[in-house]
Every structure is written in C-alpha cells, then in structure tokens.
Chains A and B, each alone.
Chain A
Amino acid sequence: MSENDIQLVQEFQAGNEKAFNQLVLKYQTRIFNLVYRMIRNTEEAKDLAQDIFVKAYQGLKQFRGESSFSTWLYQIAVNSSINYSNSKRWKNLVSIFEAKEPEAAWGNPVQDIQKEKINQAIDQAILSLPPQQRSVFILRHYEELPYQEIARLAGRSEGALKANYFQAVQKLKKKLAHLR
C-alpha cells in the first residue's frame, strides 16, 4: 500500500472524514473506468462507482491493511460490478442497448459511423462474456494487472485465470470476426 494511502486510511480511522474524500478523489477515475468497462453505460457506471465508495466508507473502519487499499477497493469494485451484471435490472438494460442503431456524429460521418460500429460491436462482445470472465479480461487487458494481483483480487489460482483470459479472448475473436 502506498505511504499516502496508509496515512489517509489511518487518519480516516482516527475520525478524519476529509481523509476519505481524498481517497475518493484519488481513485474515482480508476474505479469509474473499471466499472464502465464492465457494464458499458456511463450513467450506470457513475452511480455504481459512487456506491462502491459508499461500501468502502462503511467497511474502512474495519480495514486492517492485510492487502493494499487499492487492492481492497478494486476487490469491492469487481465484486459489485459482477453482482450488478448478474442483476435483472442490468439484463433489461442490455436488451435496450443492443437494439440501438449507430448514430452519425458531426465531422466525418462515414468514419464516425464506422467507429461507432466498432465501439458497439466491442461493447456487445464484452457484454456477452460471463461477468466473472469479463472481469478477468478487463483486469488483464485494460487495467494491465499481473495475474498474481488478479488472483489476489478474485481469490482464484493464476492458472485458472490464465485459462479464463484465453477463453475470453477466443470468444471476443469470434464475436468480432466480421470487423477484422
């Protein structure tokens, strides 16, 4: 855990509420990006990222520093995103999302439509992965975390995660074959 994080956590545990605000400011972008990549909806991701910080606030008094604060926070974020993805509310959103047609934007309409098509295809391909597999792909591909760190977050073996990542890449390869 970085020195600054330890200090902020200790200050918060001693009763300084402002220390928690500093932790939020430090990690808000990373947590939002992680959640967004998992659920692929800006507003929902913002809401969920905020809920993750609320959960962190509630649990931080009991945090004993056995892992780094960032690992602990990531763990909450990954679990919350998986649970959210599994929820019925999310399934409904996906169906609406899938029906959406690409929209032309100002600028170069042909290029923009092409880009939007790629974005939508990637969104759909990632959403088609089972939530747990999706989280492994996101932590490895986007967050660039080593398998050792992901294993600590997910509570699974490195071998299993490596196989999971491979399966995710295979599925994405098939789903995006038409764009290659």
Chain B
Amino acid sequence: MKECEIYQQDLADYVNKKLSAQEEKGLLLHLADCLACQRELKEIEATLLLFQKEREEEHSEAFWAGFAAEVREKIQSKKEKVPIFKPGWVLIPVGILLVLFVAASLFKVDQRFLSQKERQTGGRLVWLESQASQKSFDQELEQSLENLSQEVEKIYWQDEDIVTLLAELNEEQFKKLEEKVKKLNL
C-alpha cells in the first residue's frame, strides 16, 4: 500500500478527532508535504460536514411510552403462539406413503409377470430370491450364459459370408471340411 493510501485511511478519523496524539502527529507531518492528501482532506471535511446538517430523529414521549409495552406484547404473543397447521406436515408423509404404495404395487406386478415368464416354455428366467442356494444359482447362471453364447454364435455364423469364412481356414482345417462335405454325399 502506498504511503498516501495509509494516511488517507486516517483522514475521516482526523476530521472527527478520533486519532491518537501519535497518529495525528504522523498524519500532520505527511499532510505538510503532500498536496494530494491535503486535497483529499478538504473533500472529506466537506462531506462529513453535510452529516452535521442531517436531521436528528427526535420522537415524542408517546413514541417511547409504548415501546417497552409493545416489546412485552411481542414476547407474550411469541410465548402463546399455537403452532399453526401447515399443509406440508400432512402432505409430505402422505406423499411418501403414496410413493411407497405405488412402488410396492409395481413390484408385485413385476413379480407376477416374472413368474408367468418362468412357467412359459422356450424361455427360463431366474428369480433370484427363489433360489434355494448360491450353488444352484451359479449353475443356472452358467447354463444361461452358455445358451446365450451359443445363440450369439449361431446368429454370427448365419450372417457371415461363406467366402470370407473359407478364406479364414488354414490348409488342415480346409481339408477336414472338404472330407466332411464329401461324406455328406450331396
């Protein structure tokens, strides 16, 4: 911070005679040599002088007579204040219950749908909680994954071009394939 800025912070306190003797002495020494701070002091003096012209808020005895009594009334009314009914107090729990009810209903529907699916032929879905043990669940899972990979493989080979497939075979594989085709007697 520049020297002037430090002294300028004290100017208002100097005008209001709030500086200690030591602070005032330092400021006056600086002011004697600094034109910028002298100008600043004049402006601050003129500004703070306006505050002396400001109105004084004076109130009648009646204004103050009722003051303490009104404070007492406010304290009393706070003490006696009955908790006002707020719709939120009922609506929030009702809302939570409603959400839980809807979630439970959807869960039931889903469970019924899954058990129907389980009974259908050609597909088998596993309902995790109905499994007796972790072992049988693992077996089911393994079987399902194997079925799935077979299905994927089947789809893959169906879509693959025969020329591309033959090109990928080495000589030995090609001969084996050739023998198998001959045995088919097409």
**A residues near B, CB below 8 A?**
21, 24-25, 28-29, 32-33, 36, 42, 46, 49-51, 53-54, 57-58, 115, 118-119, 121-122, 141, 144, 162-163, 165-166, 169, 172-173, 176, 179-180
Contact = CB atoms under 8 A, between A and B. Distances in A.
B151 to A, nearest CB: 65
Contacts of B64: 28-29
A115 B53 contact: yes
From B46, B55, B75, name the one whose CB has the most chain A CB atoms within 10 angstroms. Answer: B75
B167 to A, nearest CB: 78
B18 A118 contact: no
Given A28-B64, A28-B67, A180 B51 contact: no
A3 B51 CA distance: 34
A164 to B, nearest CB: 10
B119 interface: no
Given A28-B68, A50-B71, A122 B57 contact: no
B71 to A, nearest CB: 5
Interface string B60-90: 0001100110111011001000000000000
B12 interface: yes
Given A24-B67, A33-B57, A50-B74, A172 B16 contact: no
A125 to B, nearest CB: 9
Nearest to A172: B47
B16 A180 contact: no
Contacts of B44: 169, 173
B50 interface: yes
Contacts, number: 71
B71 A53 contact: yes
A176 B47 contact: yes
Contacts of A53: 71
Interface in B33-50: 43-44, 46-48, 50
B9 interface: yes
A137 B8 CA distance: 16
Contact of B75 (A33, A49, A57, A173): A57
B50 A21 contact: no
A166 B9 contact: yes
B143 to A, nearest CB: 67
A173 B71 contact: no
Nearest to B53: A118
A71 to B, nearest CB: 19
A174 B8 CA distance: 15
Contacts of B59: 42
A36 B16 contact: no
B31 to A, nearest CB: 16
B50 A51 contact: no
Contacts of A163: 9
B16 A50 contact: no
Contacts of B11: 169
Given A24-B67, A54-B78, A57-B75, A169 B57 contact: no
Contact of B43 (A24, A51, A118, A173): A173
B67 A46 contact: yes
Given A165-B12, A169-B12, A173-B47, 15 more contacts: A21-B68, A24-B67, A50-B71, A54-B74, A57-B71, A118-B50, A141-B16, A144-B16, A144-B18, A166-B9, A166-B12, A169-B47, A172-B47, A176-B47, A180-B50
